[in-house]
Amino acid sequence: MLPIGPLMIEHRLIERLIKIIQLKLQKFQEKKEADPTFVEIAIDFIRMYADRCHHGKEEDILFRELKKKQISSEHRQIMEELIEDHRFGRRTTQDLVEANRKYGKGDESALGTIVERLKTLVDFYPKHIEKEDKRFFMPVMGYFTNEEKDAMLKEGYEFDQKLIHEKYQNIVSLLEQERTPA
């Protein structure tokens, strides 16, 4: 199995969330109000699954290994574009976090930012995924031996296993900080 198989499966789940965000976004615009709980769930998915899990494996495993190879200038350029795409997604999501926090505290003016950032993500992810699926993942597998592919696949599974522990250790740490008087 190619190490890109799990990445492609992850893309399908991200696409499913994007469709849900599109539907919610229409409702937000019709009602002229957001659902901060839904936005928080979407943020968590984007941060933990799309970025930390999916982009994490790309950056920490696939891209790391590609940087050790003599790859074409086209593939190197696409890889750099993908890294910048990931940064763009993180910045957009952080803006969404801040807008949702303000909105949750009663700042109605933050609704516009929530809508715009969700629109940005709905537009961004399909294009980003298409670039990876059609222009990058399959061609770059030719740079690797079967043994290297197997090693990356194994590392990807180990990466996934650590994520749940990382997430909940961070949650407990944040809760402990809130409890501690400043």
Domain assignment present for 132 = yes
Domain assignment present for 13 = yes
Tokens of 14: 């991200």
What is the count of structural domains for the chain? 1
**d(C-alpha 67, C-alpha 80), whole Å:** 11
The letter for the amino acid at 33 is E
Domain assignment present for 84 = yes
Residues 85-108 have pLDDT tens digits of: 999 999 999 999 999 999 999 999
Domain assignment present for 78 = yes
Range of the domain at 77: 4-170
Domain assignment present for 157 = yes
Residues 6 or more apart whose CB falls under 8 angstroms from that of 98 comprise 113
The owner of tokens 């609704």 is: 111
Domain assignment present for 177 = no
Q: What is the pLDDT of residue 1?
A: 42
Cα torsion 144, 137, 157, 159 to 10°: value is 100
- Nearest Cα neighbor of 25 from 140, 98, 103, 122 is 122
Domain assignment present for 179 = no
Q: What is the pLDDT of residue 182?
A: 57
**d(C-alpha 50, C-alpha 172), whole Å:** 22
Domain of residue 116, CATH code: 1.20.120.520
Residues of the chain predicted below pLDDT 50: 1
Q: What is the pLDDT of residue 3?
A: 65
**d(C-alpha 47, C-alpha 51), whole Å:** 5
Domain assignment present for 182 = no
